[in-house]
Structure 1
Amino acid sequence: MKKICGLIILMLTQVAVSSAHEEMHWMPANCTQNREQLFNYFNQAPLLGLDPHDYAFTLVKQLNAGNVPGDSLAVDKLLSQAAISFFSDVAYGTKAVRVYYDGLKYVPDCLDIPQLLYESLSAGSFGQLLTKLEPSTPEYVSLKRLIAVYTDRIQRNDYHNVQITSANVDSNNHPLIDKLFQLGFLDTCAYNVHEDTLLVKTRAAQYMFEFLEDGELRPKVLDEFNISLEKRLVELHHALNTFRWLNCLRKTQPVIVVNIPAAGLFVYKADSTLLYSRVIVGKARTPTTPLASRINEVIMFPYWNVPHNIAVKELLPGIKGAPKIFLEAGNYQVLDKSGKIVDPLTINWQALNKHYFPYTLRQVFGCDNSLGIIKLDFFNPYSTYLHDTPAKSYFMFNSRYFSHGCIRLEEAIPLATLIAPENAAHIDSLSKLKIAPIGAPINIAVAAKPPVIILYEVAWPGVNGVVRFFDDVYEKFR
């Protein structure tokens, strides 16, 4: 049988580890083009947010120098292993996204990497394999584009970590011009840039860092501008890895992603964003925990079972001052350990404290219910859920870190109708009621049980495709 470069009997994974198989794919003279293309792929690793040292780096260096260590068959198999590893990282990411509770047990596996590698070698289309395996989502493309800009700037001979000290937005502020060039807002670092242009680019940079776009270089603005490109690349690589990891999951179903630093919720499906909502997440003292689960239920007119810490630290002092007035004003019920409602006037509130509080406070539906009109529930060990809120004004802030760990939604009803289309009309009609119907709360099952993933990424593209850098509110990237 005539030998063809890349033609194999077994899958490449088997070829890579089986000493019995004698077919080679990279080392023979008629495979030179494939080998050169493979090395070209490895050279692109930094632009892909990958580390070229992970892919037979020493061996590749030796081969490029004209040295073939050991026998050709063993070398060929090592290159096959490196190729499979490289393309797996391109398609799926280099590691699983860290969540503290993983109710999905999701591992991306929607592509047969060894088989696709084999087919591309057999068909002579190996040069198109990278494009075929990379995610095509707009978020991935935006992140990759910015990585290319920052990598180019860092590789310039005149690159240095610029520190801006002057708050003047004019052509005399050379560090500002240098930084705007490094960040990709200016095509050159020429110091004769017109001041109107400089002001426009400064505002664009303020938008990227989620500041008021007024062109004023206040101290906090300068702090963000002065973070090095090296650190920004770490953040971008981290986010790119996350979008690779998400890619298989979102191909066939809506996936709800909450990014804590961005204080935003995104519903992705395939290459589209079906919905975006501003959210309010946990403050640094009471952080929201990264997790993965599935939404199983929509609850209309929900009770709010007040967490113990909130009850004893924030509500109890007010209750002690005027129990009846405080509890009625907030629509609170008091439950005993068996879940029965207790008359608050029969309780000696002065005897209670954070160490002794054998009750549960429950807020019933009303204008001031902390959960608003709707709650989206999913199992997790942190009592975290998505919910509406009566305090809509907080969504106007850029830094929306105000909650005790749960996630308040600006677009609660649209999200509920999106994930439970079979009950969308019912949810919509209930949301228009002025008072809760008899028998509330109303539990509505979500048939599709879509994944919900809460994660922590400082760099993140918005629905307009612009990558933004958010406050590292929990200091996980420092």
Structure 2
Amino acid sequence: MNMIALQRHPIPYRTAFFARLLGILFLSFLAAPLTAQTKVSAFAQAVAEAAARDTEIAEFYRENGYQPIWTGSLSQTASRRTALLKALTAAGDHGLPAYDTAVLKTRLSGVQSMRDLGRAEVELSKLFLSYAQGVNSGVLTPSKVDSGIVREVPRKNGADLLAEFVRSDPAGYLKALPPKSPEYARLMKAKLGLDQQLANGGWGAPVAASALKPGQSGEAVIALRNRLIRMGYLSRSASQSYDVTIQKAVLQFQQDHGLTADGVAGPSTIDEINVDPEKRQASILVAMERERWTNFERGKRHVWVNLADFSTQIVDGGRVTFTTRSVIGKNQSDRRSPEFSDVMKFMVINPTWNVPRSIATKEYLPMLKRNPNAVSHLKLIDSRGRVVNRSSVNFNAYSARSFPFAIKQPPSNDNALGLVKFMFPNKYNIYLHDTPAKSLFGREVRDFSHGCIRLSEPFDFAYALLARQTSDPEGTFHKILNTGRETRVNLEEPVPVHLVYRTAVAPAKGRMNYRRDVYERDTKIWAALQNAGVALGAVDG
């Protein structure tokens, strides 16, 4: 059968055909008039040469004695080939780069020697690892995309992946590689649904208005109505005015997009309603990649801080048991909150604020040079831990580099950390804490801190954590608080903390939730995914 004729057949048939082809080729080469040892030697040498630049693949083949796992004549190798080609064909469903299996198939059909076969063997292993590592732990290296994504991704060793695959049922092993989290499955479902919607024309014309409110009518209201219908927020309607049904739909849309939920389509709401479905699809694909980066055990109980949502949650057994609004690092190069995971080990009630040196020298030293009595609520501490009398210091004699003092703020209601902080010691000096600046939690966009995470309801957060180790968490907390003394309280059960950034979230119930890309990190990730070969994939209607 020639290649043109083969293309007329469905993908499963073509996949099976090439799987059989390799087995036939292998048998035909063994039947050629050379000694078996010469044939094996030529194959092994070709494998060794082709794998030389990939240490993990080279390690695997050295360990298995250069035996074929793809190109042999056994039914087991045929099933591996079939399973891999099937997985590669469906890679787009996971938002992975498109694998050009047609080129591989053409190359395989041109195999004419044991050396060609050895090179094909390694090529299949490379394809397998590219897919397996991509679908399991991500296509990209986070820190190479944005320096604020300092997350360590548990990427599996290639030699180990190949060895596990050889010992397993091929189709079952490949099926088990993607993240098993319910969120990943929901994101994939949303991705496939939006693929279909894009193929059917998307969400229609954008709304040509800066703002709309209940009681209005006209073309812009009709466009708003139609777009809400296509997005699934409104049943079919012939209404030409901004009535109660449209108001309710707008209210639900606002809740799903982190907007002030008032049912009025103000400028920020109109902006979000007019976002193209292609951009939303890109957010879903980025969220799937991010989910692969966190494809590890997160802890039966853990703290989940979604920076893009300005929220902090406690999750118990997969169920959210506590949620509070948060303030995150300001969108400036030296203040953005990083993304990483660590373990919360204790809280400090009535904390002292040890001012970070960067803040002390960049913000407070210039103020002290102008006025030695500035920021009088802060104390200067020398290298021996003694409080320094400001009147004896010539602040103008110091630069940011030579400034010899530490700056601290004692415990108080006005302390920058509020009355409690929650510690998961890390090299980034990031933690969760209270704040006296309560008004900021009423803002829609809440990036105001120097990088740490401020909590709207820190006391309730503390009660939830202490409930695991005392029958009276509230009483225990306030007894210590009322002393006014700085006190460390260890958590008997340390809690994993995950600082993440998700602009697309697929809840168990309801529609997709989207958030603005406040740090523009997802914009960078999407660009990197596109460079890696990921594309928006509308299905044929």
For the aligned pair, the TM-score class normalised by the smaller chain equals 0.7 to 0.9
The separation in 2 between residues aligned to 1:462 and 1:347, in whole angstroms, is: 59
Contact persistence 1:91–1:135 (CA under 8 A): yes
Shift of 1:450: 4.4
The separation in 2 between residues aligned to 1:16 and 1:411, in whole angstroms, is: 57
Equivalent of 1:258, from 305, 309, 316?
305
* Residue 432 (structure 1) aligns with: 478
Equivalent of 1:443, from 473, 484, 488?
488
Deviations 1:239-264 (A, max 9, x none): 222222223131x5544342322112
Q: Higher helix share goes to which structure?
A: 2
Q: How does 1:163-174 map to 2 (within 5 A)?
A: 163-166=206-209, 167=211, 172-173=219-220
* Residue 139 (structure 1) aligns with: 183
AA matched with 1:134: P
| Alignment of 1:386 onto 2:445 | no
| Alignment of 1:47 onto 2:118 | no
The residue matched to 1:443 in structure 2 has which SS?
strand
Equivalent of 1:472, from 517, 523, 526?
517
Give the 3 Å change call, closer, same or farther, for CA 243–49 of structure 1 in structure 2.
Answer: same
TM-score of the superposition, structure 1-length normalised?
A: 0.74
AA matched with 2:344: I
The separation in 2 between residues aligned to 1:196 and 1:119, in whole angstroms, is: 61
AA matched with 2:207: I
AA matched with 1:136: K
AA matched with 1:224: E
Q: How does 1:74-473 map to 2 (within 5 A)?
A: 75=120, 78-98=123-143, 100=147, 105=152, 107-109=154-156, 113-114=161-162, 117-118=165-166, 121=169, 126=171, 129=173, 132-156=176-200, 158-159=201-202, 162-166=205-209, 167=211, 172-173=219-220, 175-176=223-224, 179-180=227-228, 183-185=231-233, 192=238, 197-250=245-298, 252=299, 254-268=301-315, 271-273=318-320, 275-285=322-332, 287-292=335-340, 293-307=342-356, 313=363, 323=373, 327=376, 330=377, 332-344=378-390, 346-347=391-392, 359-413=405-459, 415=461, 428-433=474-479, 436-437=482-483, 440-446=485-491, 450-461=495-506, 467-473=512-518
Contact persistence 2:203–2:227 (CA under 8 A): no
Give the 3 Å change call, closer, same or farther, for CA 365–170 of structure 1 in structure 2.
Answer: same
Give the 3 Å change call, closer, same or farther, for CA 183–75 of structure 1 in structure 2.
Answer: farther
The separation in 2 between residues aligned to 1:217 and 1:265, in whole angstroms, is: 27
Equivalent of 1:68, from 94, 97, 109?
109
Shift of 1:280: 1.0
Computing the radius of gyration from Cα coordinates, the structure with the larger value is: 2
Give the 3 Å change call, closer, same or farther, for CA 161–59 of structure 1 in structure 2.
Answer: farther
The residue matched to 1:247 in structure 2 has which SS?
coil
Deviates more, 1:406-415 or 1:354-363: 354-363
For structure 1, the 5+ residue unaligned runs are 6-10
Deviates more, 1:423-432 or 1:467-476: 423-432
Percent identity between the two aligned chains: 22
The separation in 1 between residues aligned to 2:217 and 2:186, in whole angstroms, is: 29
The separation in 1 between residues aligned to 2:418 and 2:308, in whole angstroms, is: 23
Over the residues paired in the alignment, what is the CA RMSD in angstroms? 4.8
* Residue 536 (structure 2) aligns with: none
Give the 3 Å change call, closer, same or farther, for CA 401–121 of structure 1 in structure 2.
Answer: same
The residue matched to 2:268 in structure 1 has which SS?
helix
Give the 3 Å change call, closer, same or farther, for CA 379–435 of structure 1 in structure 2.
Answer: closer
* Residue 8 (structure 1) aligns with: none
Shift of 1:40: 4.1
Contact persistence 2:344–2:423 (CA under 8 A): yes
The separation in 2 between residues aligned to 1:382 and 1:243, in whole angstroms, is: 23
Shift of 1:458: 2.5
Contact persistence 1:413–1:427 (CA under 8 A): no
The separation in 1 between residues aligned to 2:194 and 2:72, in whole angstroms, is: 33
Shift of 1:418: 6.1
The separation in 1 between residues aligned to 2:364 and 2:258, in whole angstroms, is: 31
Q: How does 1:23-62 map to 2 (within 5 A)?
A: 24=70, 38-53=84-99, 56-59=100-103, 62=106
Give the 3 Å change call, closer, same or farther, for CA 45–177 of structure 1 in structure 2.
Answer: farther
The separation in 2 between residues aligned to 1:59 and 1:17, in whole angstroms, is: 29
The residue matched to 1:376 in structure 2 has which SS?
strand
Give the 3 Å change call, closer, same or farther, for CA 175–120 of structure 1 in structure 2.
Answer: farther
Deviations 1:34-63 (A, max 9, x none): 75654443333233121223xx53435649
Give the 3 Å change call, closer, same or farther, for CA 29–178 of structure 1 in structure 2.
Answer: farther
AA matched with 2:206: Q
Give the 3 Å change call, closer, same or farther, for CA 441–261 of structure 1 in structure 2.
Answer: same
Deviates more, 1:400-409 or 1:211-220: 211-220
Give the 3 Å change call, closer, same or farther, for CA 237–19 of structure 1 in structure 2.
Answer: farther
Contact persistence 1:291–1:454 (CA under 8 A): yes
- Equivalences, count: 453
Deviations 1:68-97 (A, max 9, x none): 232667546544543443233323222344
Give the 3 Å change call, closer, same or farther, for CA 404–84 of structure 1 in structure 2.
Answer: closer
AA matched with 2:252: A
Shift of 1:135: 2.8
Give the 3 Å change call, closer, same or farther, for CA 183–146 of structure 1 in structure 2.
Answer: farther
Deviates more, 1:105-114 or 1:272-281: 105-114
The separation in 1 between residues aligned to 2:71 and 2:169, in whole angstroms, is: 8
The separation in 2 between residues aligned to 1:170 and 1:18, in whole angstroms, is: 73
The residue matched to 1:222 in structure 2 has which SS?
helix
Contact persistence 1:92–1:247 (CA under 8 A): yes
The separation in 2 between residues aligned to 1:110 and 1:196, in whole angstroms, is: 57
